């Protein structure tokens, strides 16, 4: 009887743990309030290399300059994600490779990205210029923000226009880190 009761307790705890883990993981793939992914998103036009112009701070990018994100279509229909940046403290390049898939409708700029096995996080393109030259991206909440560009530099006027859009969408632009691209751009092309 005691063994049966222990088995029931273990099963109950395991189910509870799996439910909590599932809820926690699904929370990482949602949308922040008031943020909508771009409509009529064309993944073929989004593929390629983007320079990180500005970001909110997170440990996985801390201390990196010359950051780029490269997206390539894989044979299975998912997207290969290669994030690369120069670690100023260590004097070396760091690279992380992951995969992305659409969170739902492939005509919307809401993807899920994974760098760690089965764990996915939201990647929401919420602003994109018509020429696919500049994009603003967030995660499941507003503590994630990236300003990406096909070129390594933006004019001061254009940058201020984009920061105003981000501010209007509720992002704390005063906390942005502006990414140095100059020296790393030449070094990146050598690899």
For residue 70, give the CATH number of its domain.
2.40.128.20
pLDDT at position 67, please?
97
Whether residue 26 lies inside any domain: the answer is: no
Tell me the per-residue pLDDT of 47-77, one tens digit each, with 9 for 90 and over.
Answer: 999 999 999 999 889 999 999 999 999 999 9
Higher confidence at residue 188 or residue 178? 178
User: Per the structure block, which two tokens stand in for 138?
Assistant: 């967030």
The separation between CA 5 and the C-alpha centre of its own chain, rounded to angstroms, equals: 45
Residue 4 lies in a domain: no
Token readout for 39 is 């409509």
**What's the total number of domains in the chain?**
1
Cα separation, 191 vs 188, whole angstroms: 6
The answer as to whether 38 is a domain residue is no
Domain that holds residue 181: 43-190
Give pLDDT tens digits for 107-153: 999 999 999 888 999 999 999 999 999 999 999 999 999 999 999 99
């Amino acid at each position: 009887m005691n063994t049966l009761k222990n088995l029931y307790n273990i099963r109950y705890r395991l189910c509870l743990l799996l439910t909590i883990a599932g809820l926690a993981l699904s929370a990482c793939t949602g949308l922040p309030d008031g943020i909508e992914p771009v409509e009529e998103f064309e993944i073929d036009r989004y593929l390629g290399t983007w320079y990180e112009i500005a970001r909110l701070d997170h440990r996985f990018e801390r201390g990196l300059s010359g950051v780029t994100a490269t997206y390539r279509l894989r044979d299975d229909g998912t997207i290969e994600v290669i994030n690369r940046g120069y670690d100023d403290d260590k004097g070396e390049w760091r690279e992380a490779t992951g995969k992305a898939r659409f969170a739902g409708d492939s005509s919307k700029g809401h993807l899920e990205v994974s760098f760690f096995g089965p764990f996915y996080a939201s990647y929401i393109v919420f602003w994109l210029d018509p020429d696919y030259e500049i994009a603003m991206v967030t995660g499941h909440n507003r503590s994630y923000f990236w300003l990406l560009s096909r070129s390594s530099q933006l004019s001061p006027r254009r940058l201020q226009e984009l920061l105003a859009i981000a501010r209007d969408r509720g992002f704390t632009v005063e906390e942005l880190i502006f990414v140095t691209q100059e020296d790393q751009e030449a070094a990146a092309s050598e690899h």
